[in-house]
Structure 1
Amino acid sequence: MPRKLPLHVERNTVKGNTYLSFRIRSQNGPRIRLPDDPTSEEFRLAYAAAMGGTQKPATKKDTPDSISAKIDTYMKSPAYTGLSDSSKDGYSSRLEQIRTDHGHRAFSGLTKERIETFILAPLANKPGAALDTLKKLRILINHLKLTPDPTAGIKRPKSGEIRSWTDAELAAYERRWPIGTKQRTAYALMLNMGTARIDTHALTWPQVDDGACYRRHKTGVAVDMAVSEDLEKALAATPRKHVVVITTAYGKPFTVDGFSRFMRDAITAAKLPLSCQPHGLRKTLGRLLADAGCSAHDIMAALGHTTLAEAERYTREADRKRGGKRAVTQLNEHRKNKPSQTTSESLGKAVKSDGKTTP
């Protein structure tokens, strides 16, 4: 039976060889190689140094073909440096995680099987992380022109996509938070302007007074809309105590996370399901615009999309919905106007005639 190892010490087997290492997994700490004999004085001293944080893990220089080196190449390129600050934060966070977990792997050695087995499989219980990891790998592969693309044929991990709210859910929220409440104003801004939380918490009165104009923080795209009648009613009932429209109970602007908690509490108080997320209101605006017959280009302008394909998804869904209703309407009309068929009893029988002709 293997000897019980001290705290944070683990056995690792590589190519048939077993070695010991120190690692604090709960802190995602570095792996520090230890002497192989846990009973030796050498091991005791190395373990004490690792526990005390005095020993630094040995660092290996990245080979030019390593994933880590390729991440460095991409992050120095205009494709990355030209991103907005918020996009850089999201990209770097995931890329650095890929570097930590798989930076030592050969970039040119990536295959579909290796990506699925070693990179995506460990994230099976984290579909969101798996999907984002696959997206960032594809960005690297496309930027560095690795052919053939080893991610080709890999299915996108299914994540809990944020959905639009139903009409019944919108009505439930409005019943709980009438016009004049801060919760209703925040809801009206997100629903009628399609703003994300990072944009909504910072909206100012001049921005909504001048026709719902703002610049999306995520993409930098300028959005110029008109104030809808519903939003106008909500704003008219909102006290103007600060240059920012939505403020905390202390009259100060919200932080992004604080605004998220504020909206989550409001949604919970309305007894709506967890799947009703604040960002879903932005998607709801896209749905409502498509249902109203707006073109994909109009939806793209209203929501500040950077590609037409994103807006076309709403119009396709609306067209399918309208098409399904039209199909049933036509079926009903067809049934009403369809002539009655000859009864089965008269089939095959000649019609009797009295020999008289019709004048």
Structure 2
Amino acid sequence: MKPRKLPRYTHAYVDRHGTPRFYFRRAGQKSVALPGLPWSPQFMEVYERVLRECAPIEIGAKRTKPGTINAALIGYYQSIEFTETLARSTQQNRRAILEAFRVEHGDKRVALMHATALQNIVNRKRPAAQRNFKKAMRGFIDHCMSRNLIKVDPLEGMKFSKMKTKGHHTWTEEEIAQYQKRHASGTKARLALELLLQTGHARADVVRMGRQHVRNGKLSMRRQKTNVQFDIPMLPDLANEIDLHPKTDLAYLVTEHGKPFTAAGFGNKFREWCDQAELHHCSAHGLRKASAVRHALNGASAFELMAWHGWKTIGEAQRYVDEANRIRLAESAGAKMRTSSG
């Protein structure tokens, strides 16, 4: 296998003691020493932080008029709230939404931004897009208010159209068994299922998982999206499946070329594996939901679900506790009917 290339802007040399050294070097900026070996968690944590901190000056910033939405957005993109608080994938998604807003309204005065104008923008969007727009705008508005660019929150009281769906389908136990029957233990497709189901984490985190994250039978990582730490024991079914696969790769899941999947690439591949199992309506995210329901059915509290799945708010976890209670109550009601009719 060919040696993996160094991350962009990484320079390496061997010092006089024979120790390899690595530095982040970008034209016009100070060099920064990087710890550990390239692509290791220790290395990548510092590399990604330095990459954000050394971001180039926004193109056109000097030509932007102060007090406009253009100027406020440039400030927000360079703020700690945007660069440090949000995961890279979240930054990309929210910036795409804000840039579309900027194209239409960038030259307007940010102080004149008001609730009626934003509500009119939202009314032209589909239900899911409405909610995504508010999420993206929430950080921007908070940034503006904290710097006294606006006095009143224009997002307060915003109304949305009703959602027609509940999002990704939650896998049933029958669907899990159907997938397992199609993809036997020892296959990459089966490993993917077990990682998603047994850890209960998103595809962006699953593709980064590897043996370097396991100590004394416990998997420890931070969620890419929210940076929330999770420390969970390796469940027996997952540990047994991992033992059937090569131990030479840094990541559990690698492509045919021996490289870790991207989150999008893994999503596409998992889509293929689901289709092969005739589960066209199932997705990777649906297994995260199935994991939460499994835990709740086994008595996990909302706080325990938060700790396992890396959620920040109890509301995200409580919905699965409620779902488990609904299932248990329905089964209890059915049992009473069978008893009375027997």
Global fold match (TM > 0.5): yes
Matched, 1:302 2:308: yes
Unpaired runs of 5+ residues, structure 1, are 1-58, 338-359
The number of residue pairs the alignment matches comes to 274
Structure 1 stretches of 4+ with a deviation exceeding 6 A read: none
Find the aligned partners of 1:240 and 1:259 in 2 and give their Cα distance. 20
Q: Do 1:221 and 1:304's aligned partners in 2 also have CA atoms closer than 8 Å?
A: yes
Q: Deviations over 1:214-256 (max 9, x none)?
A: 2222222222111112212211222334232222223333233
How far off is 1:332 after superposition?
6.5
2:184 equivalent in structure 1? 178
1:82 equivalent in structure 2? 84
Find the aligned partners of 1:258 and 1:76 in 2 and give their Cα distance. 29
Q: CA 1:294–1:204 in 2, change beyond 3 Å: closer, same or farther?
A: same
Q: CA 1:120–1:159 in 2, change beyond 3 Å: closer, same or farther?
A: farther
TM-score (norm 2): 0.70
Q: CA 1:157–1:132 in 2, change beyond 3 Å: closer, same or farther?
A: farther
The 3-state SS of whatever aligns with 1:184 is helix
Report the structure number with the largest CA radius of gyration: 1
1:72 equivalent in structure 2? 74
Q: 2:159 aligns with which of 144, 148, 154?
A: 154
Find the aligned partners of 1:74 and 1:106 in 2 and give their Cα distance. 15
- The RMSD of aligned alpha carbons is 3.0
TM-score (norm 1): 0.67
Counterpart residue type for residue 136 of structure 2: K
Counterpart residue type for residue 132 of structure 1: N
Unpaired runs of 5+ residues, structure 2, are 1-61, 146-150
Q: 2:266 aligns with which of 252, 259, 272?
A: 259
How far off is 1:191 after superposition?
0.7
How far off is 1:327 after superposition?
4.5
Find the aligned partners of 1:198 and 1:148 in 2 and give their Cα distance. 33
Find the aligned partners of 2:139 and 2:255 in 1 and give their Cα distance. 39
Q: Do 1:190 and 1:196's aligned partners in 2 also have CA atoms closer than 8 Å?
A: yes
Q: 2:95 aligns with which of 83, 92, 95?
A: 92
Counterpart residue type for residue 74 of structure 1: Y
2:133 equivalent in structure 1? 133
Find the aligned partners of 1:151 and 1:133 in 2 and give their Cα distance. 14
1:279 equivalent in structure 2? 285
Q: CA 1:326–1:218 in 2, change beyond 3 Å: closer, same or farther?
A: same
Q: Do 1:111 and 1:151's aligned partners in 2 also have CA atoms closer than 8 Å?
A: no
Q: CA 1:107–1:249 in 2, change beyond 3 Å: closer, same or farther?
A: same
Q: 1:322 aligns with which of 310, 317, 328?
A: 328
2:204 equivalent in structure 1? 198
Percent of paired sites with the same residue = 29
